[in-house]
Amino acid sequence: MVGPKIVGGVLSMARQMRRDRPDAVVGFGGYPSIPALGAATLLGLPRMIHEQNGVLGKVNQLFAKRVAGVACGVWPADLPEGALGEHVGNPVRSAVLERAGAAYIPPGDYPMSILVMGGSQGARILSDVVPGAIAALPDEIRQHLRVSHQARDEDGERVMAFYADHGINADVQPFFHDVPTLMSETQLVISRSGASSVADISVIGRPSILIPFAAAAGDHQSANARGLVEAGGAIMIPESALDIPSLSEQIATILSNPTAALQMSIAALSAGVPDATERLVALVEQLAEKDKT
C-alpha cells in the first residue's frame, strides 16, 4: 500500500517538474528517489536508474521496467525480466582514481602488507577470524607481514592485543583515512564485498579475499563479488564457511605464490571501470538527447 506521504511527495515533485521540465531524471535507489521517479513516470519524462549492487534494491526493482534502462554498477547484475541493463560501473573517489592501476609488488621474502576492511562500520566476524588466520600462517610468511585492520571500536582493543601477543605488526583502527594509499601498497585485501569496496579493489587492481555480508538484502554482496571472482581477481568465502583454517590456507596460497598473486592483480584490474562516471554521464546525455529528436 502506498502511503499518503509518498503520494504527496510524488505529486509535489510532479508540480515542480512541470515547471522546470528536466531533460532527464535519474534515480539512484532508496526511498528518497521514489518522488522523482514517480513524478517522471506520471509526466512521461525520460528516466533511468543506476544500481550500484549486483541485485537491485526494492525501489529500483519497482521502477526497473518503467525506465529507459538500468545503469549497472556491477556486472553481471540480476535484473527483472524485461528490464534493460548496461554495465557502467560504480563511480569511485578521486583519491582512488589517483591510484588506479598502481604498480603491484608481488609477495616475497621482504615486507608485505594485508589490508582488512569490514565496510563503513567494520565487521565483527573479520575481527573474530582474520587475526587467528594470520597468526596461523607459516613463519616464513608471517614474519614479513604488516596488517592494517579496520575494526569496530568495541573490537579494536582485543584485536590489537591479539596481534601484539602473537608478534604481528598491526595497525588497528575503526576508520582509515587513506584507504586508496593503503590498498595500493598492499599485497592482499581481505574485505566485505560492498559495491564501493569491490569498485576500489578492481580500479586499483589488488588480489582479494571477499567475505560477503550474509544478511545483505537479496545476498547482493555475493552478487557484487561475482564478477571479480569470475575474472580471477578474487577468492570468495561465504560467511557460513569462514573459519580460521580455511582463511589461513587461502591467505597462504596467495602470499606464497608471487606469480599467481600478480595474475590476480592483473585480473582484478581487468574487471575495474575507472571511467564509470563518464560512462554514466554519457548514458544520461544520450537519454536526454533522444527525447529531443
Task: Name the pTM for this structure.
Answer: 0.93
Tell me the β-bridge partners of 112: 145
Domains of the chain: 4-90+274-292 (3.40.50.2000), 96-270 (3.40.50.2000)
Please tell me the distance from the alpha carbon of residue 26 to that of residue 283, in angstroms, as a whole number: 10
Please tell me the distance from the alpha carbon of residue 21 to that of residue 26, in angstroms, as a whole number: 14
Cell numbers found for residue 129: 577470524
Cell numbers 573459519 label which residue?
A: 243
Angle at 123 between CA 219 and CA 269, to 5 degrees: 65
* Element containing residue 264 per DSSP (H, E): helix 258-270
Closest residue by Cα to residue 115 from 207, 234, 193, 235? 207
Rg of the chain, C-alpha, whole Å: 22
One pLDDT digit (tens) per residue for the chain, 293 residues: 467 888 999 999 999 999 999 999 999 999 999 999 999 999 999 999 999 999 999 999 999 999 999 999 999 899 999 999 999 999 999 999 999 999 999 999 999 999 999 865 558 899 999 999 999 999 999 999 999 999 999 999 999 999 999 999 999 999 999 999 999 999 999 999 999 999 999 999 999 999 999 888 889 999 999 999 999 999 999 999 999 999 999 999 999 999 999 999 999 999 999 999 999 999 999 999 986 65
* CB neighbour burial string for 135-146, b if at least 16 within 10 angstroms, e if fewer: bbbeeebbebbb
Q: For 136, list phi and psi in degrees, rounded to 5.
A: -85, 0
User: What pLDDT, in 10s, does the model give residues 83-118?
Assistant: 999 999 999 999 999 999 999 999 999 999 999 998
Query: Do residues 207 and 233 lie in contact, with contact meaning Cβ atoms separated by under 8 Å?
Result: yes
Query: Do residues 100 and 133 lie in contact, with contact meaning Cβ atoms separated by under 8 Å?
Result: no
User: What pLDDT, in 10s, does the model give residues 38-62?
Assistant: 999 999 999 999 999 999 999 999 9
Query: Do residues 151 and 130 lie in contact, with contact meaning Cβ atoms separated by under 8 Å?
Result: no
